[in-house]
Structure 1
Amino acid sequence: MMKELVQFAQTVVKAVAKISPFAISLSDNHGYIIGSTQLDRIGTMHFPSREVIEKNTSVIFDKTKIEKMENVLEGIAFPLQFDHKTVGVLGVIGPPEQVKPYGLLVKNYVEMLWQQTFRQQIADMEVKTKETFAQYILLNEVVEKHRVEHYCKMLGITYGKMNFCIVIDIGNSLLTSAKKHISIDHLKENLVRCTKEAYGGPDEMICTFLNTEKMVVIRQVNSKEEYRSILQCFHDQSTELINLLQIYSINNPLIAAGSLSSSIEEVNQSYQEAERLIRFTKESDMHLNIFTNYNWNIILEQFPLQIPDSFHEKVTFRIKPFLEYDRFNEMAELFITYCENNMNISKTAKALFLHRNTLIYRLNKIEEMTSLNTSNFQDCMILYTVLKKTKHAPSLSRMP
């Protein structure tokens, strides 16, 4: 406690000096002056401070009393209380009759300032602990059980529950937004508060920054049904978060929820899945900000990428003439658009700004090169899935 008092003393002295007409000093519980408006007194022994601590009450030092005292100035000394303990002495220097009306006000101000600073230090320590814990369990595939249990106990988290991870990717918005508004630490605090407000989780939900570009939420659930219920609300809650973040000029964040992990030691898997969803969507043509595997559009986009490589190789071998066609990319996009318009000639022609006959001619050309029937759903499904997987080939090794 004394270490914190020493670090705090000069900050308090500077703050009080702005509002008090009198010089002040702060002594520790051993009587050493650790803060003073008169810098030459810092580090010197102030024996009367011991009397104040022993009596635990204010003591007046007038001219008569201090005549034979060393390093003692006229004024009033007040015991400083913290957490119901006397931890130091505040000296307000000046004629006692003039000091008395201000003395208690200055004492109360110093104690209040100290309490606020101490609470802020505790809050900062908790924020740092959460960041460290999140980095440990999310960025390491293997973690030590006893270490995880220690963190859970320290942060008031129930150990043994199922968990899942939400990732909020804000890019470099934190740095650019901080320049326009407030300090980075204050901005991070506000963004975390917005995230908690949007998702409305329990107190033991961990919400913290993983780095300057990502916030994470580690959420505990009691059952798969509770997880399903949360995912049903996830889009609306994430939309609310996006609106809140815009207040701080955080635009177009990408938000993803991972799968359910059976324990907090395995929540890294949920985090990795959320990251893959964000990465996949960045590389695809989907214009979305919110992703979960509860969303059919996300599942449908990923579906072609789930087919085995062996099956993909068999089909690409069979349609080699089409793959080697000099207008392959154009024709592949045409066919994918045709499938995504439910194999409807009119809708596809309109979407591609083509004449019906031109579209039909090109579909017939695809049939020539592949020997597949573009009017047959099963044939189209085979070619569609293979073309989609071919299109997203760079992502294949990173998909689950």
Structure 2
Amino acid sequence: MQLNTTIARQIVDRTMKIIKHSVNVMDSHGRIIGSGDPERLHQKHDGAILALNNHHIVEIDHATAQRLHGVKPGINLPIIFQQQAIGVVGISGDPNEVRNYGELVKMTAELIIEQAVLMTQVEWHKRHREELVMQLINDSNLDNDQLTTIAERLEIKLDQPRIATIIKVLPQDGEAFSLENLQHLVHLLEYPERDNLVAISSVSRNEVVVLKPITINNNDWSRDLEQKRIYKLLKRIGKEANYSIKIALGDYFPTIQGLAQSYLTATATMEAALNSHQYAKQQVFFYQDHILPVLLNKIKDESWRYQQLQSPLDRLKQHDPRGILLKTLTAFFDQNCDLAQTCQVLHIHRNTLRYRLDKIEQQTNLKINKISDITRLYLAIISQS
């Protein structure tokens, strides 16, 4: 550990709020790197060198100050970290007046240094956890042994089943995107500790990637538990936050390499959700609930395929200016082709529904009771939004 000017400035500022005397901080070479008297910065301090060499307190009176270079009357105490003298803290003034402050200032300096070291370790740990997440979701060339070694160093269990989750931060009420929003979200995901592996996305500045631990039961993972955790997160964000979020959870794939595939499904689910007006108000998306829309999402990029898929609906719309038939077909699929449920949702008689379905068959040239035709109609409906 080496003292730097930032830590020295913190020591000076904090200690001089406690005592009314000027405080100096010297590095391991006896050079002043922090001082209540800016004119003394960067000077060599002979008293500090004595304190470093002898590992004891050096008091300097007026007579002694005349014989040493770069010093004033006061008291100088070595700063000890891990049983090593890494610098000196000095208090300017008559030794008889400042002596009682010495141990207090020394203790304050050492506490600030310990805190700085701890924060550095936390940041190192956090940065390397994020790097590991990026390696896992990008299917890096690192083999299992290398990944395991890195994970063990970070105290992460790679054999814990996980799914990839993408959380997109959306500012509200015209607010600009804020890094503070992202940091607030990351904090909520990491505390209380749930063994989440969290990283800010390298693809989009307003996305967070989470590798969430899951519970496997009968070769399947507990979706109910994840739903509860998600809704707790939404509740913690609260209505007062100036941002909202959308969450896309990918599928589970065993093995370490499966995390990259899980990330792909989460990414595709988020893309499909954002591209659909149908889901504008929905916040949480499970890949398993939207497999077909997700898989069909990119079909719009291939215009001729999309046009072919939509052609039956285009013919229907030409003869359905009020959109009644299209609304009926959509409700029919939403109710899993259950006639009774569709009638109930639309508040119509069964004969009315039968009449409308017959009209749909006439206009689209597709049969509702033919599996290939009804599948084509369903795919056209879910790919149009």
Whether the 8 Å contact between 2:367 and 2:374 is mirrored in structure 1 is no
**Does residue 380 of structure 2 align to residue 385 of structure 1?**
no
Q: Secondary structure at the match of 1:90?
A: strand
**Does residue 202 of structure 2 align to residue 208 of structure 1?**
no
Hey, what's the Cα distance between the residues in 2 that align with 1:235 and 1:350?
A: 29
Counterpart in the other structure of 2:227:
235
Hey, what's the Cα distance between the residues in 2 that align with 1:318 and 1:170?
A: 37
Hey, what's the Cα distance between the residues in 1 that align with 2:309 and 2:21?
A: 87
Hey, what's the Cα distance between the residues in 1 that align with 2:261 and 2:163?
A: 9
Residue 226 to residue 213, structure 1, CA distance change in 2 (3 Å): farther
Counterpart in the other structure of 2:328:
334
Q: Secondary structure at the match of 2:72?
A: coil
Counterpart in the other structure of 1:50:
49
Counterpart in the other structure of 1:398:
none
More helix by proportion, 1 or 2? 1
Hey, what's the Cα distance between the residues in 1 that align with 2:205 and 2:311?
A: 48
Hey, what's the Cα distance between the residues in 2 that align with 1:324 and 1:348?
A: 20
Task: Write the deviation string for residues 186-217 of structure 1: whole angstroms up to 9, x where unpaired.
Answer: x655433322347x533xx4123225422222
Whether the 8 Å contact between 2:169 and 2:182 is mirrored in structure 1 is no
Q: Secondary structure at the match of 1:72?
A: coil
Counterpart in the other structure of 2:80:
81
**Does residue 217 of structure 2 align to residue 225 of structure 1?**
yes
Whether the 8 Å contact between 2:216 and 2:222 is mirrored in structure 1 is no
Residue 343 to residue 133, structure 1, CA distance change in 2 (3 Å): closer
Once the 2 structures are TM-superposed, how far is the Cα of residue 360 of structure 1 from its aligned partner? 4.3
Q: Secondary structure at the match of 1:261?
A: coil
Once the 2 structures are TM-superposed, how far is the Cα of residue 85 of structure 1 from its aligned partner? 2.0
Structure 1: gaps spanning 5 or more residues: 396-400
Structure 2: gaps spanning 5 or more residues: none
Residue 226 to residue 251, structure 1, CA distance change in 2 (3 Å): farther
Residue 355 to residue 224, structure 1, CA distance change in 2 (3 Å): closer
Hey, what's the Cα distance between the residues in 2 that align with 1:112 and 1:152?
A: 30
Hey, what's the Cα distance between the residues in 2 that align with 1:248 and 1:104?
A: 46
Whether the 8 Å contact between 1:163 and 1:263 is mirrored in structure 2 is no
Where does 1:188-337 land on structure 2 (aligned, <5 Å)? 188-197=182-191, 201-202=194-195, 205-210=196-201, 212-219=205-212, 224-225=216-217, 228-246=220-238, 249=241, 252-282=244-274, 283=276, 285-286=278-279, 288-293=282-287, 297-298=289-290, 322=315, 325-327=318-320, 331-337=325-331
TM-score (norm 2): 0.79
Counterpart in the other structure of 1:364:
358
Question: In structure 2, what residue type is equivalent to 1:47?
Answer: D
Residue 171 to residue 154, structure 1, CA distance change in 2 (3 Å): farther
Whether the 8 Å contact between 1:259 and 1:273 is mirrored in structure 2 is yes
Task: Write the deviation string for residues 7-50 of structure 1: whole angstroms up to 9, x where unpaired.
Answer: 42233323333332001111112222222122222222212222
Whether the 8 Å contact between 1:163 and 1:264 is mirrored in structure 2 is no
Task: Write the deviation string for residues 261-281 of structure 1: whole angstroms up to 9, x where unpaired.
Answer: 333344221111112222223
Whether the 8 Å contact between 2:9 and 2:35 is mirrored in structure 1 is yes
Once the 2 structures are TM-superposed, how far is the Cα of residue 148 of structure 1 from its aligned partner? 4.0
Question: In structure 2, what residue type is equivalent to 1:52?
Answer: A
Hey, what's the Cα distance between the residues in 1 that align with 2:384 and 2:342?
A: 27
Counterpart in the other structure of 2:97:
98
Whether the 8 Å contact between 1:339 and 1:384 is mirrored in structure 2 is no
TM-score (norm 1): 0.76
Hey, what's the Cα distance between the residues in 1 that align with 2:248 and 2:17?
A: 49
Counterpart in the other structure of 1:27:
26
Question: In structure 1, what residue type is equivalent to 2:284?
Answer: I
Hey, what's the Cα distance between the residues in 1 that align with 2:311 and 2:176?
A: 53
Question: In structure 2, what residue type is equivalent to 1:217?
Answer: V
Q: Secondary structure at the match of 1:81?
A: strand
User: How many percent of aligned residue pairs carry the same amino acid?
Assistant: 20
Question: In structure 2, what residue type is equivalent to 1:257?
Answer: L
Once the 2 structures are TM-superposed, how far is the Cα of residue 367 of structure 1 from its aligned partner? 3.1
